[in-house]
Amino acid sequence: MANTSSAKKRVRQNERRTERNRDRRSRIRSAVKNVEMAIDTGDRAAAEGAFKIAEPELMSGVTKGIIKKNTASRKVSRLSARVNALT
């Protein structure tokens, strides 16, 4: 248990940051899932639209420290390849 005032403040900050990061991670996962669902249905227009939303979400996760840069780049690359493969 935190005893000093600075340790108590650190606990409060960590709780807020954890909540924010959880929301951001959830938003990223939802965006990627929307792209994958559009790809599965075979709707190229919907997949492109969802991809245009998912790509900035992934890259914003990188700048916020939620995911690593190479991970986001790999996900974007694979999603774009799958979207482009749709005819």
pLDDT tens for each residue of 36-59: 999 999 999 999 999 999 999 999
**Is the overall model pTM greater than 0.85, yes or no?**
yes
Q: Which CATH superfamily is domain 5-85 in?
A: Ribosomal protein S20 (1.20.58.110)
pLDDT at site 1: 76
Q: Which two tokens stand for residue 10?
A: 């650190």
Round to whole Å and give the CA distance between 34 and 53. 9
Question: If we measure between CA atoms, which residue out of 50, 48, 70, 49 comes closest to residue 59?
Answer: 70
Q: Report yes or no: 50 and 31 within 8 Å, Cβ to Cβ.
A: yes
